[in-house]
Amino acid sequence: MDVVRELADRIIVLHNGTLVADGKPADVIAMPIVQEAYLGLPGPEGLQ
């Protein structure tokens, strides 16, 4: 994720074909849905 944060100006994240996040790397990486889906960290919102 450090490489993505350094190289990208914008990140778009899809989960099961649905857009779940779009924005600056630091903002997107901090989103619970992104952390749960891609980083394996538990988030307050369950993935469906």
Alpha-carbon separation of residue 14 from 7, 18, 29, 45 (angstroms)? 19, 5, 13, 16
Assigned domain for 47 exists: no
Assigned domain for 20 exists: yes
Q: What is the pLDDT of residues 4-47, one digit of tens each?
A: 888 999 999 998 899 999 999 999 989 988 888 887 766 555 55
User: Residue 23 region, left (φ>0) first, then alpha (ψ -120 to 50), else beta?
Assistant: left
CA distance 14 to 19: 4
Assigned domain for 46 exists: no
Q: What is the pLDDT of residues 12-21, one digit of tens each?
A: 999 889 999 9
Domain count of the fold of the chain? 1
Global pTM value: 0.70
- Tell me which residue range forms the domain holding 12: 2-38
